[in-house]
Structure 1
C-alpha cells in the first residue's frame, strides 16, 4: 500500500433491488420474511453509503484547514497508524488555541475511524 491518506472508495449499488421494486417483480417472492430481509438489507446498505459519503466529505472539506494549522507532510502514514506502532510524525512544535485544538481532535478522530474501518474492510 502506498503512503498517504488511503481512503478506500468501494462502489456499492442497490440498483437490482430498486429495479425489482419499480418493476413489480417483488410480487413474485412469496416469502414475506425474505422480502422484509431484503428491504432491511437495502436500507442498511444505503445507510452505509450515506455514512461513508459524510465521512469522506468531512475529511476532504477540512484537509486544507488542517494543513493551515499543522505541517502534515509526514503525518498520514496509514501503514504506521494501522500497525499499532507508537508512530510519532516528524513535525515542529506549534501553539493552538482551544478552538483549533478541538477542531484537530475531531478531524483526527474521524480520520482514525475511517482508516481503521478501511483496514478491516480490506482484510
Structure 2
C-alpha cells in the first residue's frame, strides 16, 4: 500500500481539497449520467479523510439517482466541480473527490488502477460493455 498526499483546486483557486490517496484502492470512472456530464475521475473515500477549504465559495446541485442522495458542490466563480458526497442506500456516508482537479500528477496517481462502473445501468460493480468514452 502506498499513500500519496494530494492537493487539488478549482480553476480560480477559491476552493481546494487535500486527500490521502491510497494507490491500492485506486480511482474510478463511471458512465452514469452525472459522472458522464461532469467527466468525473473519482476517488471514493470517507468524508473524514478529506479536508475542504473555501466552502463559502461553493454552491450545490442536489441529485437523487437510484435512491442515492447526492450533493454536487461547485465553485460559484469558475464552476469547477471538485467533489460530490452523499449516502449509500445503507446510510454509509461517502465523498468522491474529482482527481481531475489534482494540481500535481505524481506517478503513483497516474499508474494506480482505475476501476470502471456501469452506473448507467445501475450495475455499479460491473464494468460497462462499452468503455471507450471512459
TM-score (norm 2): 0.22
Structure with bigger gyration radius: 1
- In terms of fraction of residues, the more strand-rich structure is 2
- In terms of fraction of residues, the more helix-rich structure is 1
Higher RCO (CA < 8 A, seq sep 6+): 1
